[in-house]
């Protein structure tokens, strides 16, 4: 399963790094990623009956909100890439503040859906959701950070 998650992570990173401003490309990628990710989630979280129905209803709603945040993340990465060579203190501060806000929104979204899933599908399913989303998000964040230059890094070259 870790191998599949890594493949998904690298596919997602590739979209972040090479994303165009074309909204259709972003939507297409997120649609494909959502389906692949959904298969991983289905493999990890096994439910039956009403708990299964409640979980997938909540999960689909979560994915819609996560994708909206993903579009903001792509826009922020593009902003960073496009302004990297000319970043001054104000621009750097703005990007960092936007990054913090986006991370906070993403983390809050996961917590909110943990609570919803717990109510409809039980603690175990909610905990599995929380753990899996945390793992995927951590891998994505780490991979992005490993593949973009740190602020000021290119100044040394």
pLDDT in tens, 15-70: 444 444 445 444 544 554 555 778 889 989 999 999 999 999 999 999 999 989 98
More confident residue, 11 or 155: 155
Domain ranges in the chain? 2-156
pTM more than 0.85: no
Say how far apart CA 92 and CA 50 lie, in whole Å.
48
SS3 97: helix
Burial bucket for residue 94 (CB in 10 Å: 0-12, 13-18, 19+): middle
Retrieve residue 152's tokens.
Answer: 């000021």
pLDDT in tens, 73-91: 888 988 988 888 888 999 9
Burial bucket for residue 90 (CB in 10 Å: 0-12, 13-18, 19+): exposed
What count of other Cβ atoms lies within 10 Å of the Cβ of residue 149? 13
Say how far apart CA 113 and CA 56 lie, in whole Å.
11
Residue linked to tokens 């973009």: 148
């Amino acid at each position: 399963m870790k191998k599949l998650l890594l493949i998904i992570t690298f596919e997602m990173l590739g979209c972040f790094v090479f994303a165009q401003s074309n909204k259709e490309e972003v939507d297409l990628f997120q649609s494909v990623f959502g389906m692949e990710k959904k298969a991983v989630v289905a493999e990890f979280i096994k439910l039956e009956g009403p708990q299964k129905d409640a979980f997938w209803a909540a999960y689909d709603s979560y994915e819609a909100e996560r994708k909206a945040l993903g579009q903001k993340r792509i826009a922020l990465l593009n902003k960073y890439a496009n302004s990297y060579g000319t970043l001054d203190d104000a621009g750097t501060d703005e990007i960092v503040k936007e990054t913090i806000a986006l991370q906070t929104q993403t983390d809050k979204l996961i917590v909110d859906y943990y609570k919803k899933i717990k109510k409809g599908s039980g603690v175990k399913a909610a905990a599995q959701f929380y753990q899996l989303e945390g793992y995927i998000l951590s891998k994505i964040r780490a991979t992005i950070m490993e593949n973009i230059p740190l602020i000021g890094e290119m100044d040394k070259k």
